[in-house]
Structure 1
Amino acid sequence: MNLAEVSVDVLTGVGESRKKELEGLGIESIADLLSYFPYRYEDYRLTDLITAENEQRVTVRGRVYTQPSVRWYGKSKSRMHIKLDINGVFVSVIWFNQAFLKDKIRSGQTILISGKWDRQRLQITADRTMISEEEQKKLIGQLEPIYSVVSGVKMSWLRKLIHQAFVEYGKYIQENLPAELLSRYKLLPRAKAMYFIHFPKGPAENHQARRRIAYEELFLYQCKLMWLRRIQRTKIEGIAHSFPSEKVEQFIQGLAFPLTGAQKRVVQEILDDMRQPIQMNRLVQGDVGSGKTVVAAIALFANYLSGYQGALMVPTEILADQHTASLQQLLAPFHIRVTSLTSKMAVRKRREALSEIELGLAHIVVGTHALIQEPVVYRNLGLVITDEQHRFGVKQRAALREKGISPDVLFMTATPIPRTLAISAFGEMDVSTIDEMPAGRKPIDTYWVKKEMWSRIIRFIEKECQKGHQAYVICPLIEESEKLDLQNAQEVFEQLTVELAPIRVGLLHGRMNSAEKEEVMNAFAVNDIQVLISTTVVEVGVNVPNATCMVIYDADRFGLAQLHQLRGRVGRGEGASTCILVADPKSEAGIERMRVMTETTDGFEISQRDLELRGPGDFLGVKQSGLPDFKVADISEDGKILEVARNDAAQIVLSEDFVTQEDYRSLYEWLQTEKLESMNFD
């Protein structure tokens, strides 16, 4: 019996109105009901008050020592009080607006209560009371499930309905994991695990049930990713690049600096992919300053040796100009032509660039989204690289890929992604990580200060400029806002122009046109502007080695990843660099972000903390990458389970005998019914 096809109204007590109420919870079938898991539990194990923490929820059983006394506030609000003897320890118990209990509680009775513990006052604020000895015995030691409900659906009724469904249909719950995995990890059978999620006998059963369901969710999702990868590998024939290894090695040896061990490892992974007759689909992530650009240059060089064109798409024109300049410098000795293509180009230059690209005279093309527009025709595109890939939509990335015939695809990001999130949100890709910084890269000293120290910050900026260095001052708004009390770029620009005179101050923000932005950035790059007041437009790509000071105003309003990206604009030259976070945070989350930023400069550690603070749903907008809402699994907490599930899925689904082996038949049939196109991948 397929429980997904059995309507929930077959259960006693579910009429038309109840059915509609359940539909409001997303429950339409028996399968929906059985998998409508609680989001937390009330713990009714008896608490030892000696070890209980202040404000902890506790459950205690004791003898009523004093008769209840009630004080009324107005006509409807009340406060009831007793003394309770708990094994010789006397505590106060209070109830708010539950005066009806006065006639039920008597001195000398043994009662069970749950509520918040005030350790200083030796007082419990009760929210649940059991007077009947029979009810107490039923509740003591239990973990009571708490569900999300809507108006009209009572928690107690929903619990009874779920229990009825298990009694009548639990025997039809089908196992969906291979027997070998159940045995290897000593996992509960699916039916028993689902029952214990709803009705655990105690913490041990709940833990084992949660462990089983979390593994199941992560394993099945990873199976979908691996099946998608298998389909891609069989359907999409790629370019088997052929290039002499010794020439690539000569290029690497000719660089002005040695590659780090991490760079060497990632380069080898990319080159191995390029040699395969399967389309490369790889994500390279590395912290700010870890050397992703040179890795891209090596891949583009190998692609050129194979006789193909390469394209590098970046999110901003500033970044396009910088990449073009750096690639020209690296590749000029080999007579490799690097052509730039952006929307700002004059008509004549753009026409020349388009002609060079179509004729194959442009070996490497660097540009913004202009690379994917209709007039751009490539002669033989063999490698596509997208920098800061999360800033482009799925369709934009796919459009560049479709400019060639199954070119190899490389995505790069300087926003480190926690491994657990990377293998979930980007599971159909291979992921390479540059987790080592080049030698000589100096750490950036980071300080969190209150706004009252603004005058001292200005003096610090002044001293840095007197040394010949430059500074950024980042503000969250362009102009004054009546709704938000945030420092704005225009106001700070006007203020610092006066206070720092004769130091030259510039202003940069997103409302400027391309020519204005370029003029300001060029002036800053050559030190004609010493202090740049800017919005987050400088977050990615701006490279001014002489800048040693980064001031971020209202820093608590920025996310951790954005703060780390902004900080990465300094520390790029020889001078010691400083980042100053100016903030008076009003929330715990804001305070925690400031703490994290001052404790570490490791982008991967910051990204992990960011994931823990925000959760996967908000991290980098990963919902757009197809990441599902797991009912039980939490990828920020279940990292070890995820790693194991991914390895198991890869071993099974990518094996040659997956389609034919009897043990995997049900898993194979399930994958045939899944809509992989809904997973939003390129």
Structure 2
Amino acid sequence: MTTALHEIAVRQIKGVSAQKEQELHAFGIQTVADLLDYFPFRYEDYRVRDLAEVKDGEKATVQGKIMSTPSLQRYGRGKSRLSCRVAVDHMLLTAVWFNRNFLQSQLTPGREITITGKWDQNRRQVTVTDSEFPDKGTAKTGTLQPVYSVGGAITQSWMRKTIKQALEQYGSMIPEVLPYVLTSKYQLIPRREAVMRMHLPGDAVEGQAARRRMVYEELFLFQLKLHAFRAQTRGKADGVTHTTDNETIRSFVKGLPFELTESQKKVINEIMYDMRQPYSMNRLLQGDVGSGKTVVAAVALYAAVKSGHQGALMVPTEILAEQHGRTLDKLFSPYGIQIALLTGSLGERRRREILAGLQMGLIDIVVGTHALIQEDVFFRSLGLVVTDEQHRFGVNQRSILRRKGMNPDVLTMTATPIPRTLAITAFGDMDVSTIKERPQGRKPIKTYWVKHEMLDRVLGFIRREVGEGRQAYVICPLIEESDKLDVQNAIDLHIQLQQAFPDLKVGLLHGRLPASEKEEVMRLFSEAETHVLIATTVIEVGVDVPNATLMIIMDAERFGLSQLHQLRGRVGRGGHQSFCVLVADPKSETGRERMQVMTETDDGFEVARRDLELRGPGDFFGTKQSGLPEFKVADMAADFAVLETARDDAAEMVTQPDFWERPDYTALHQYLMREQIFQGELLD
């Protein structure tokens, strides 16, 4: 939209008081433009239907004639049930209203009535939610009514009335933002008409045409923003140019205690090519759990240090930081590379030593949690930033770490395989590298789903694996008992398993333990002094114990698919056959589908695709700080084809030499200026 509607306060709409204006602000609605773009998330269907086409339990609108005197029953405190017989077509049905006794006098036999409600086929009854009398003039009958996300003092009817008023006052000012070349190519209706029809669809066809237009616009503008930003930053030769040659890298790789897969070698080549360029690398490295991303990051960090710079690896938990610290120390100690660990639980003296070492360049690589982004952390020459499980960090946290160097290269890693659908939206400004193979010698994990009554057999399974010298994880959703959730909790289960296995060492790990205790619990498990580890999802990411071959997940239906797959990936990291047992009694269809997906495939990309279908993109990462765009109309899964088209259109448009000069693109230029893509801080 042009600046005009963005500059008109929502208070200027008739009927919006100062108090209502404040309440609208809570919904992110400041201006008329914001209100007009506040689209309904669904529609109530008040179009009259033939009852023969209505399924049992469905909501429908029907017209008929009242055939009996209404009957009123009172029960409880202020509760009532009002009913009468209504003839609809050739059928006599019962219409029932709850707590609407004021309607009794209006329900006169012989009067025409339109009722909307849930149809009970067996009882031939409609439980009425809305009713109207044609002799009074109908307001809703025959229409699709918008349903908005409302709350507090903002009611559905007030929102409908206010948006209708805004359209009357300012509808003529809604400008076109897409150029004619696109609206004609895809036969999209004008923006003004689309906005009107999104709020007031005359019928389903008009509503679909409006949605089609707004979905394309929303996805195209988002992609345009990404590609314009990329075009602006890609040309800037102000990044770190790493100079480490191929022979040095080959020598390091030959010294590794294992052979790299072809997939790992390909990804390393892509990363090294970027690191040698004069612009700042921004690459996403994705690979399934246990695919060997850490060693790829190690090669990149080695290259940065050999080029005379420092590296930083930021991870979401202290357990993971400690593990990565040990791994890198083992790999780098023969080369004299200095590694330091910076976490929130460090003593003040050690912390000061590390900060001084980083500033003077005595420390080559620092591994840490969000402690890395505190104000007093300075580097002599930060050349490479690696973030692991990046969706655990907010966009701001990642960009703060980046700003601690002069446009350092950035490598972002995730073991949540991202379907292309999300990769080209959330990470549209990044190059994506994917590790597709498992390291040699890794066997697929066998996954089973059992009900709670089979727990004795599961315990027998644990004893069998431990008897063969292996170890087991048992995962619970909660730490302590909760009145709200009837779930197995870690502390209770720890006591139960200690009693079930008096001859075994059973450990307990959860997020509320002090850091020193967590480290000790993990050390005992890593060194096989603990046979069974009861844990919450604190072990979900990155913990590596090759001797652990059995993963038991209690109340598995309470976890998302991607989280289940992450947990499963804690086993299968050695040469022995590994197993994952899901203990679940899912009540919902979605819960049962999750269990089926987990037993059908151990391919993380397939799991991610199915997770996206089941949960939708908004919940995919289980965090609001994922950097995922929240679209108003578009759905990344359902509208994937449009998304790809919009991306291609945007990429082509910004590469046109005259893009910034052409007058028919003026509205797009204004949009990009408003979105501040030229300030360099828009995207992480």
TM-score by length of structure 2 reads 0.84
Give the equivalent residue in structure 2 for 1:630.
631
Distance in 2, matches of 1:373 and 1:39, equals: 40
8 Å contact kept, 1:339–1:353: no
User: Does the aligned pair in 1 maintain the 2:81–2:96 contact within 8 Å?
Assistant: no
Q: Which shows bigger deviation, 9-18 or 66-75?
A: 9-18
Q: Summarize deviations over 1:457-477 as a string: whole Å, max 9, x none.
A: 222111111122211122344
Instruction: State how far apart, in whole Å, the 2-side matches of 1:28 and 1:478 are.
Output: 42
Aligned to 1:339: 339
Amino acid at match of 1:500: F
Q: Which amino acid aligns with 1:577?
A: S
1:478: how far off?
A: 4.5
Is the 8 Å Cα contact of residues 49 and 60 (structure 2) preserved in structure 1?
yes
Alignment of 1:13-32 (within 5 A): 29-32=31-34
SS of equivalent residue, structure 1 residue 501: coil
Alpha carbons of structure 1 residues 347 and 668: separation in structure 2 relative to 1, 3 Å? closer
Q: State the alpha-carbon separation in 2 of the partners of residues 678 and 402 from structure 1.
A: 12
Q: 2:82 is matched with which residue?
A: 79
Q: Deviations over 1:562-610 (max 9, x none)?
A: 3322221112223322222334556676566545544443333444554
1:278 alignment partner in structure 2? 279
- Calculate percent identity across the aligned residue pairs: 53
Q: Counterparts of 2:33 and 2:357 in 1: how far apart (Å)? A: 60
User: Which whole-Å deviations, capped at 9, do the CAs of 1:244-272 have from their partners, x for residues lacking one?
Assistant: 446646766786435244x4553343233
> What is the letter of the counterpart of residue 574 of structure 2?
G
Tell me the distance in 2 between the aligned counterparts of 1:455 and 1:187. 61
Whole-Å separation in 2 of the counterparts to 1:162 and 1:493: 56
Contact 2:9–2:32 (CA under 8 A) maintained in structure 1: yes
Change (3 A) 1:336 1:481: same
Task: Report the counterpart of residue 468 of structure 1 in structure 2.
Answer: 469
**Residue of structure 2 in register with 1:59 after alignment:** 61
In 1, Cα distance between equivalents of 2:61 and 2:291: 53
Contact 1:38 1:148 (C-alpha < 8 Å) held by counterparts: yes
Checking the alignment, whether the CA contact within 8 Å between 2:86 and 2:95 is kept in structure 1 is yes
Residue 410 of structure 2 aligns with which residue? 409
Once residues 27 and 367 of structure 2 are traced to their aligned partners in structure 1, the CA distance between those partners, rounded to angstroms, is 50
Q: CA deviation at 1:653?
A: 3.6
Residues 373 and 400 in structure 2, CA contact (< 8 A), matched pair in contact too = yes
Cα distance between partner residues in 2 of 1:17 and 1:394: 34
1:203-242 aligned at under 5 Å gives the runs 203-233=204-234, 237-242=238-243
Residues 41 and 511 (structure 1 numbering): CA distance in 2 closer, same or farther, change over 3 Å?
closer
Change (3 A) 1:355 1:29: closer
Structure 2 CA distance, aligned partners of 1:338 and 1:259? 27
Q: Give, in angstroms, the shift of residue 57 of structure 1.
A: 1.1
Are the structure 2 counterparts of residues 624 and 326 from structure 1 closer, same or farther at C-alpha, using a change threshold of 3 Å? closer
SS at match of 1:312: strand
**More displaced 10-residue stretch of structure 1: 189-198 or 179-188:** 179-188
Distance 1:42-1:500 versus aligned 2 partners, 3 A rule: same
Matched position secondary structure for 1:210: helix
| Distance in 2 separating the partners of 1:319 and 1:230 | 36
Deviations 1:190-230 (A, max 9, x none): 00111111222211110110121122223223333334434
8 Å CA contact retained: 1:504, 1:529: yes
Contact 2:237 2:278 in 1 (8 A): no
Whether contact under 8 Å (1:327, 1:338) holds in the other structure is no
Q: Which amino acid aligns with 2:444?
A: P
Q: Is the 8 A contact 1:22 1:28 kept in 2?
A: yes
Q: Is the 8 A contact 1:260 1:437 kept in 2?
A: no
Between stretches 171-180 and 298-307, larger displacement belongs to: 298-307
Deviating more after overlay: 246-255 vs 428-437: 246-255
What is the match of residue 546 of structure 2?
545
Shift of 1:549: 1.0
Deviation of 1:179 (Å):
1.9
Note closer, same or farther for the CA distance 1:31–1:593 as it changes in structure 2 (3 Å cut).
same
Amino acid at match of 1:297: A
Residue of structure 1 equivalent to 2:261: 259
Partner Cα distance (1:211, 1:483) in 2: 42
Deviation readout 1:51-73 (Å, 9 max, x if unpaired): 43321112234455x43441422
- Does the 8 A contact of 2:261 with 2:437 survive in 1? no
Does the aligned pair in 2 maintain the 1:616–1:622 contact within 8 Å? no
* Worse-matched range after superposition: 177-186 or 15-24: 15-24
498-507 or 285-294: which moved more?
Answer: 498-507
Corresponding letter in the other structure for 2:604: G
1:177 & 1:239 partners in 2: Cα distance? 38
1:82 counterpart letter in structure 2 = R
CA contact (8 A) 1:236 1:406 kept: no
Deviations 1:457-503 (A, max 9, x none): 22211111112221112234445667765444344333323422323
Q: Which amino acid aligns with 1:182?
A: T
Q: Which residue of 2 aligns with 1:44?
A: 46
Greater alpha carbon shift after TM alignment, 117-126 vs 588-597 = 588-597
Picking from 117, 120, 123, the partner of 1:118 is: 120
Query: What is the alpha-carbon distance in structure 2 between the residues aligned to residue 521 and residue 152 of structure 1?
Result: 51
User: Which secondary structure state, in structure 1, belongs to the residue aligned with residue 563 of structure 2?
Assistant: helix
**2: CA distance, partners of 1:381 / 1:225:** 26
Does the C-alpha gap of structure 1 residues 260 and 134 become closer, same or farther in structure 2, counting only changes over 3 Å?
Answer: farther
- Could you say if the C-alpha distance between residues 535 and 662 of structure 1 is closer, same or farther in structure 2, counting changes exceeding 3 Å? same
Structure 1 residue 538, shift from structure 2 partner: 1.9
Name the SS for the 1:468 alignment partner: coil
Q: C-alpha displacement at 1:108, in angstroms?
A: 6.3
1:377-392 map, 5 Å? 380-392=381-393
| Secondary structure of 2:625's aligned partner | helix
Measure the CA separation in 2 of the matches of 1:622 and 1:332.
37
Alignment-mate amino acid for residue 85 of structure 2: I
Query: Which residue identity is paired with 1:196?
Result: R
2:130 maps to a residue whose letter is R
Q: Does 1:449 align with 2:450?
A: yes
Please show how residues 273-672 of structure 1 align to structure 2 within 5 Å. Answer: 273-304=274-305, 306-327=307-328, 335=335, 337=337, 339-342=339-342, 364-368=365-369, 380-394=381-395, 396-438=397-439, 441-478=442-479, 486-584=487-585, 593-611=594-612, 616-620=617-621, 622-625=623-626, 627=628, 629-653=630-654, 655-672=656-673
**Gapped regions of structure 1 (runs ≥ 5):** none
Aligned length: 677
**Would the aligned equivalents of 2:175 and 2:192 in 1 still touch at CA under 8 Å?**
yes
Contact 1:341 1:370 in 2 (8 A): no
Range 429-438 or range 523-532, more displaced: 429-438
Distance in 2, matches of 1:22 and 1:346, equals 47
What is the one-letter code of the residue matched to 1:278?
A: Y
Letter in 1 for 2:291: S
**What is the TM-score when the length of structure 1 is the normalising length?**
0.85
